[in-house]
Amino acid sequence: FRTAGSITTDAARGAGHGSHATLSRFDVHNICIANGPHFRRGFLDTAPSSNVDIAPTIVNLLGLDRPDKMGGRVLGEAFVDGPSASAPVEARRLEGTRQFSDRTWRQWLQISTYGGASYLDQGNGASEPIVNN
């Protein structure tokens, strides 16, 4: 794939300077490929989904009862006999700030809700220095 990367450490960083990966769309999104007689051929699902949705989808395909405490949703829109129209996706943005002695950290998260489940789409943050006049 020839993707350039870097390895960093945050051993010398204090509070507010962590970097254990990112919340960019690139880092939080993945690919799920489903194949078999129950799935639509050539279908690209644009609805939000997550790894936690795989278990309830399989339970549904097997005709089993879903446990009460199982997270996620059934990816029914990918089924051959699934709904032809997608439900609307509700997106919201959460924002927060934190003051440090020398800077202000601003963080935001974009969360989508679809089919009764919530998904973290992406997030980012930035540090702004405090200028003393």
What backbone torsions phi and psi does residue 54 show, to the nearest 5 degrees?
-65, -45
In contact, 121 and 111? CB cutoff 8 Å: yes
Whole-prediction pTM value?
A: 0.72
Specify if 107 maps to a domain. Answer: yes
Specify if 118 maps to a domain. Answer: yes
Residue 85: how many other CB atoms lie within 10 Å: 6
Instruction: Output the average pLDDT for the chain.
Output: 85
Lowest mean pLDDT among 66-75, 84-93, 101-110: 84-93
- What confidence tier does 20 reach under pLDDT thresholds 50, 70, 90? low
Counting the structural domains of the chain, the total is 1
Q: How far is the C-alpha of 67 from the C-alpha of 55, rounded, in Å?
A: 11
**Domain containing residue 36:** 25-81+89-129
**Residue 52 reports pLDDT greater than 60:** yes
Specify if 97 maps to a domain. Answer: yes
Q: How far is the C-alpha of 89 from the C-alpha of 77, rounded, in Å?
A: 13
- pLDDT tens digits, residue range 21-31? 678 888 888 88
Specify if 112 maps to a domain. Answer: yes
- pLDDT tens digits, residue range 61-83? 999 999 999 999 999 999 999 88
Lowest mean pLDDT among 9-13, 42-46, 107-111: 9-13
Specify if 60 maps to a domain. Answer: yes
Specify if 45 maps to a domain. Answer: yes
In contact, 99 and 10? CB cutoff 8 Å: no
Specify if 4 maps to a domain. Answer: no
Q: What is the pLDDT of residue 1?
A: 46
